[in-house]
Amino acid sequence: MQRYFFNVHDQNGLLLDPEGTACRDREAARETAIVFARSILSEDLTKGFVDLNGRIEIVTASGDVVDVVAFGECVLFIAEGQTRANSRCSA
């Protein structure tokens, strides 16, 4: 297992992940970043807003950015009158 760091860039600036999280591979790290982003978005929603301009950079222990997950790609918006079955997104 490799340790990945999930640095958050959002309206508050940059929040560095000082501890990181052990993940089996890069794909698992991406899944973890999506969960983190959704958690941030859900907290914002309880305050009455959703800001999709943020992103999470996935960084290795050696400092290499291996992926970036934009907040907007972590959620699916379903318009009034539309159903998820009508959507192409699998968020």
The 10s digit of each residue's pLDDT in 16-59 is 999 999 999 999 999 999 999 999 999 999 999 999 999 999 99
Query: What's the pTM?
Result: 0.85
**What was the pLDDT predicted at 82?**
79
The pLDDT, as a whole number, for residue 85 is 60
Q: Please check whether residue 47 lies inside any domain of the structure.
A: yes
Q: Of 54, 49, 48, 18, nearest to 36 (Cα)? A: 54
For residue 24, give the DSSP letter: S
Per-residue pLDDT averaged across 2-16, rounded?
95
Q: Is 91 among the domain residues?
A: no
Interval 66-74 mean pLDDT: 97
Mean pLDDT across the chain, nearest whole number? 91
Contacts of 69 (CB under 8 A, 6+ apart): 30, 33, 34, 37, 55, 56, 58
What domain count does the chain have? 1
Q: The domain containing residue 72 runs over which residues?
A: 2-86
| In a domain? residue 63 | yes
Q: How many CB atoms lie within 10 A of CB 74?
A: 21
